[in-house]
Amino acid sequence: MKNILFVASEGVPFVKTGGLADVVGSLPKCFDREYFDCRVILPKYLCIKQELRDKMEYLTNFYMEYDQKQTYVGIFRSVYEGVTFYFIDNEYYFAGSVPYGNILWDIEKFIFFSRAALSILPVVGFKPDIVHCHDWQTGLIPVYLKERFHDGEFFRDIKSVMTIHNLKFQGNWDVPTIKAYSELPDYFFTPDKLESYKDANMLKGGLVYADAITTVSETYANEIKTRFYGEGLDGLLSARSGDLRGIVNGIDYKEYNPSTDKFIRYKYNARDFRKEKIKNKRDLQESLNLEVDDRKFMIGIVSRLTDQKGFDLIAFMMEELCQMNVQIVVLGTGEERYENMFRHYDWKYSNKVSANIYYSEELSHKIYASCDAFLMPSLFEPCGLSQLMALRYGTVPIVRETGGLKDTVEPYNEYESTGTGFSFVNYNAHEMIGAIRYAYDVFNEKKREWNKIIDRAMAADFSWNVSARKYQEMYDWMLGY
């Protein structure tokens, strides 16, 4: 039996702000339990729902030297869907209505969390073969495993993996502050270790000291070795490219299933979507006060409204888009200028544009199930989950070829009748509208071809089981099996 420990700042169903939580909550239950015992450590945030907190069992507590004082570390446990979760309790650090605050406070909090996560292991009696760390919040764990925890009998052979979910966030602050909280000796704060452009960088520490590095798609693993995507760490990632691999995320195929989805009125599957899916489109058109018309090419967008997601391209082409026989349904919040841009077009073309500037789980499922196409023109996208949901629901993705979008959406080839969506290469508004027009033409003039694209999209498998097999192979490789 191989023991694997996930350590992360969030995980479903307990706390979620982004795709990281889906990975941490969903992946451990997909490992082969005959060979892998995978457990998870999370902070016991005050913002975790009360019903989930009530199911946590108190194990014990101890005091740990931190920030020059004795600091309380409580340990709770909960078993969810067969996976054991441990929670580190300290109300001073984990109170508050959201898991993250300002960056300086988060750095202090997550250095405490990283130290505590390793310190509780002998207490709970779980010795991992591999500690799998996620993002900068756990970046110091691989460092600590090579430093203060290295000499103890218990910790001696433990290996570590560092997974980058989004390289933009690195846990940077000045050297004296991180040195004081981490209590790491001066030796660690040099340019080949934790120092980065005169500051200290927690993610960099993890990337230097981890035994293996992963990120959430194969293309993104290659992109981050270049200056444009590398966020200042491209040199280090190139140097470690032999230990770096990309494994694409999955989605929960039970939760995202058009044949059982509780949020959609008309259930459908790969066999009957031709007559059933359209009913959801009419239902959505009606509920959003859009013109009820099967011939309208309905494009869905569910996203944070930010530059990273390509909204400057959409803003540039919005007027031109609205001249086509399309409907655009937007759900999400983000930068004020994009929120207001969509509100403006909703007002100007109320029968064509529906701007829903909030977030709703129910409406997101309805958009995946009702639209003809789904637009994701991202500047960069480590993995992306929305396109996987769109494929699952037979809503044809139109994406830019970057990161996980390139790895998961196969561009339509009319000569070979292959592909699951439409894509464009350069970050360019005219290329984007070219891809939308191409999709629009196939939708209008080649209905059989369009339905075959949907057939292939719904047959693609991006469930967590596929990702889990690849992680298992990596663990076996790390442990020499």
DSSP codes, 123-151: HHT---SEEEEESGGGTHHHHHHHTTTSS
pLDDT at 452 over 80: yes
Q: Residue 150: what pLDDT?
A: 84
Compute the average pLDDT of residues 351-380.
96
Backbone angles phi, psi at 56, to 5 degrees: -80, 135
Band (pLDDT 50/70/90 cuts) for residue 17 is: confident
Element (H, E) at 5: strand 2-7
* pLDDT in the model for residue 184: 96
The pLDDT tens digits of the residues spanning 228-245 come to: 999 999 999 999 999 999
Each residue of 112-136: b (16+ CB within 10 Å) or e? bbbbbbbbbbeeeeeebbbbbbbbb
Q: How confident is the model at residue 149 (pLDDT cuts 50, 70, 90)?
A: confident
> What pLDDT does residue 151 have?
78
pLDDT band at 318 (very low <50, low <70, confident <90, very high): very high
Q: Among 122, 308, 431, which residue's Cα sits nearest to residue 422?
A: 431
DSSP label of 410: P
Least confident of 14-23, 215-224, 256-265, 428-437: 14-23
Task: Order the strands of the 172-174 sheet from edge to edge.
Answer: 172-174, 199-201, 195-196
C-alpha to C-alpha distance for 48 and 99, rounded to whole angstroms: 9
**Is pLDDT at 159 greater than 80 in this prediction?**
yes
Mean pLDDT within 455-481: 95
pLDDT at residue 417 is higher than 90: yes
The predicted structure's pLDDT at residue 19: 83
Average pLDDT in the 70-78 region?
98
Report CA-CA distances (Å) from 228 to 128, 222, 239, 245, 476: 36, 11, 17, 19, 33
Question: What global pTM score does this model have?
Answer: 0.93
Residue 30 DSSP class: G
| pLDDT at residue 13 is higher than 90 | yes
CA–CA distance, 320 with 434 (Å, rounded to integer)? 11
| Mean predicted confidence (pLDDT) in 170-196 | 96
Q: Any residues with CB less than 8 A from the CB of 133 and at least 6 apart, and which?
A: 7, 8, 139, 141, 142, 160, 161, 162, 163, 206, 210
Residue percentage of the chain with pLDDT more than 90:
96
Q: What is the mean pLDDT of residues 198-216?
A: 97
Mean pLDDT of 77-89: 97
- Taking 90 as the threshold, does the pLDDT of residue 4 lie above it? yes
* pLDDT for the residue 362: 95
DSSP E strand boundaries for 432-472: none
Residues linked to residue 397 through DSSP beta bridges, in sequence order: 374
How does residue 108 score in pLDDT terms, banded at 50, 70 and 90? very high
Query: Measuring CA to CA, how many Å separate 62 from each of 85, 152, 397?
Result: 19, 18, 51
Q: What is the pLDDT of residue 152?
A: 76
What mean pLDDT do residues 268-287 have? Answer: 96
Phi and psi (nearest 5°) for 230? -80, -10
Task: Catalogue all structural domains in the chain, each as residue range(s) with its CATH number.
Answer: 2-250+465-478 (3.40.50.2000), 273-461 (3.40.50.2000)
Give the pLDDT score at 148.
Answer: 86
Q: In whole numbers, what is the pLDDT of the chain averaged over residues?
A: 96
Residue of 210 and 359 predicted with greater confidence:
210
No. of helices (H) and no. of strands (E), the chain: 19, 18
Mean pLDDT of 175-200: 96
User: Rounded CA gap, 379 and 408, in Å?
Assistant: 16
Give yes or no for a contact between 10 and 136, defined as CB atoms under 8 angstroms apart: no
Answer yes or no: are the C-beta atoms of 265 and 480 closer than 8 Å: no
Q: Give the integer Cα–Cα distance in Å for 410 and 422.
A: 7
pLDDT value at 28 more than 80: yes
Query: Per-residue pLDDT averaged across 465-480, rounded?
Result: 95
How would you classify the pairing of strands 373-376 and 297-302?
Answer: parallel
